[in-house]
Amino acid sequence: MSLALDGVRVLDLSRVLSGPLCARILADLGAEVIKVEPPGGDDSRHFGPFTEAGDSTYFRLINRNKYGVTLDLKTDEGRRKLEGLIRRSDVLVENFRPGVLARLGFPADELLRLNPGLIAVSVSGFGQTGPLASRPAYDLIVQAMSGLMSVTGPDGGPGVRVGISIGDIVPALYAAVGVLAALRERERTGRGQHLDVSMFEGLLSVFESNAMRALHTDEEITPTGAHHAVSAPYGVFTAGDGRAVAIGVASDSLFERLATVLGRPEWLTAPGYGSDAERGHNRERLRRDVEDALAGMDAEEVQRVLAGAGIPCGPVLDVREALALAEDRDLIVTEPDGFRTLAGGVRTTGSVTEFRPAPALGEHDHLIEGWIDG
């Protein structure tokens, strides 16, 4: 088997998370990714925790399978080398604030003049145009401004930040998908293009039911804790031993199964429980009814009984417990030097994935001229 993106060269000018994660996804799929850092390195090299050798585990996770070079783009020599690499690359990924790359002499139209087949990806907080374009952004800022924090947290609020940097991760995934689409289009047309990926828009675009409620109803949209705002019973419930069980019932047929297996046939004709929409409006009353029905079972028995009836359910695990559960699917992999890390979220059968350590700062500087001339 071969590497899916074998022969595709990616120039990664980005730093910290959104851009580097996009480039790492491409690297995992077999692209040759050249990570370009300033002489001081990517800021994320200083994010803990650290290995015994002093390497950032965060940096290693996000930048594996890449080559690493340093260029000072404030110098003529640095820009000369960058221009040479641009001419010889298929994809360029950057997440500077809009306008920064242009001030260095490489606006989007110049990138495509230097290399008409180049796919240039710009990831920014609020997009390359518009009144917010120049505004700096981190994950926290786009979580706050996108409305995500307003729907996340304990029932009724206050809103809180999601526990991972989802404001960086979603646009990274969109950027990777965009690159793959642009590569396919280039096969037909021979032309590259500039992709404008906004953290804010990427995050807001995945709001599914919350966005539809905002667009099509007058309902107040607030956090609903561990429960869904529309479907019920769909959330976390307390079993008889006081432990939590996640139960997902999002259809009338599943609700009928739940009522039957818990010995509560009266739920099927109870006022306010006749449809998923009705149950959603009465989710707090239904939560109490479900927990009353679970009171005679411990968490393991609840899961055994519900799973036996085909009802989605599961324990509420901490991170270490979840990682242990993922061992059998090889989500946790070991790089050649013994570093344990996370694989990607796709299992392919027609190609392979390699796992090479993230580069040391400037590790492959000696290869730059060869890449430029090759």
* Catalytic residue positions, numbered: 228
| CA-closest candidate to residue 19, choices 199, 192, 145 | 199
Cis preceding-peptide flag for 233 (omega within 30 of 0): yes
**Per-residue DSSP letters for 201-220?**
HHHHTT-HHHHHHHHH----
- Altogether, the residues listed in the chain come to a count of 374
Nearest to 68 by CA among 123, 22, 10: 10
Q: Tell me the CA distances in angstroms from 225 to 155, 160, 312, one per residue in order.
A: 4, 10, 19
DSSP code at position 46: G
The owner of tokens 């003049």 is 113
b/e code 197-207 from CB counts within 10 Å (16+ = b): bbbbbbbbeeb
CA atoms within 13 Å, Cβ hemisphere of 249: 29
DSSP 259-270: HHHTT-GGGGGS
**334 Cβ partners below 8 Å, 6+ apart?**
340, 341, 355
Q: Which residues contact 216 (CB under 8 A, 6 or more apart)?
A: none
Q: What is the DSSP string of 308-368?
A: HTT--EEE---HHHHHHHTGGGT-EEE-TTS-EEE--S---SSB-----PPPPTTTTGGGH
Q: How far is CA 107 from CA 78, 113, 114, 121, 289, in A?
A: 16, 10, 11, 12, 61
Give the DSSP letter of residue 130. Answer: S
Position of tokens 């260029």? 71
Q: Give exposure, 9-21, as e/b (b: 16+ Cβ within 10 Å).
A: bbbbbbbbbbbbb
